[in-house]
Structure 1
């Protein structure tokens, strides 16, 4: 016996099919959620995504090292003489002419102005990993008064730019902001 129902009105069967489909989708999502959620980084990793540092106690000429994302970050309060020496270096003489500052344009030139924060030029913030083989350079050493990597002899100046040795690039300037005059957020 063929159905004679030709109305466009929904039937009970339509309602049951729609409800069953919706409940199946909700059930599938509920079953998949633990698998999706476990791919998120854990709380300790999220805590390392950014770090705040009080830089008010760092005297001119001093530097500190803080951990960020498993890497050392050098924070140096440069003296006016160190800043002036870095500004006097012509970009054409640099081995790596790119600023490598995650706060600016990717193709910015490696002038001292493009490697420090405007208004806070005395503070230089660098990821402390040699760009040659990933060693950790020693601060306030080397031929240019910046950093020296004793593993292979790379010398960086007071702006973190490679000047001598096998390292191919300048030290990276990570993303950072000054949240106050004396507080710095990295990341």
Structure 2
């Protein structure tokens, strides 16, 4: 049987492989800044979510925090506020949709669908009027919730539009409880 001769790598083969490897690394180094610039910067990542300490809020207290450039209300509702919101028939609501980012888009605007399950006293909402983007005043208006003095929109204690020109309920952002005293918004 005849033996087949295998060619040993030459210096030229090594130079071809080394040149190709250096060229590939050079192309990757040149392209990386273009790929990396598509990632969000630190300021955008910082706005993506925020943690809120709610340990100091007593029933009836409200805390406003900034999230994604908007005011977000965290309210420790009283039993009377929860009862008032629960006892509203859906037929009395101007907007029948919950507008809660934690639920399906077509969830009905019941009080249970606007608050966190098991923590109904804690209410989290983007405090921006859905009419023209004004900032409503808390615990005012005909329904004891929020009132926008700019154009007269009245919201109840669950942030649902009940009177005035605003077309929709105020939005409930994505949020979760990290503990009994801390909420993560976003």
- Is the pair's TM-score, using the shorter chain for normalization, greater than 0.5? yes
Partner of residue 185, structure 2: 186
Partner of residue 82, structure 1: 81
Question: Counterparts of 2:64 and 2:117 in 1: how far apart (Å)?
Answer: 22
Deviation at residue 63 of structure 1 after TM alignment: 0.7
Q: Does 1:73 align with 2:54?
A: no
Q: How does the TM-score come out when normalised to structure 1?
A: 0.87
Structure 2: which 5+ runs fail to align?
Answer: 1-6
Deviation at residue 38 of structure 1 after TM alignment: 2.4
Deviation at residue 124 of structure 1 after TM alignment: 0.5
Partner of residue 141, structure 1: 140
Deviations 1:46-91 (A, max 9, x none): 1221111111211111111001111100011110010000001111
Deviation at residue 17 of structure 1 after TM alignment: 7.0
Question: Counterparts of 1:24 and 1:130 in 2: how far apart (Å)?
Answer: 57
Bigger mean CA offset, 129-138 vs 23-32:
23-32
| Residues 1:181 and 1:25: Cα distance change in structure 2 (over 3 Å) | same
Map 1:88-99 → 2, pairs under 5 A: 88-99=87-98
Partner of residue 64, structure 1: 63
| Residues 1:97 and 1:16: Cα distance change in structure 2 (over 3 Å) | farther
Partner of residue 100, structure 2: 101
Partner of residue 44, structure 1: 43
Partner of residue 121, structure 1: 120
Runs of 4+ in structure 1 off by over 3 angstroms are: 11-26
Bigger mean CA offset, 32-41 vs 137-146:
32-41
Q: How does the TM-score come out when normalised to structure 2?
A: 0.87
Partner of residue 4, structure 2: none
Question: Counterparts of 2:61 and 2:30 in 1: how far apart (Å)?
Answer: 54
Computed over aligned residues only, the root mean square deviation of the Cα atoms, in angstroms, reads 2.3
Question: Aligned with 1:73: secondary structure?
Answer: strand
| Residues 1:66 and 1:24: Cα distance change in structure 2 (over 3 Å) | same
Question: Aligned with 1:125: secondary structure?
Answer: strand
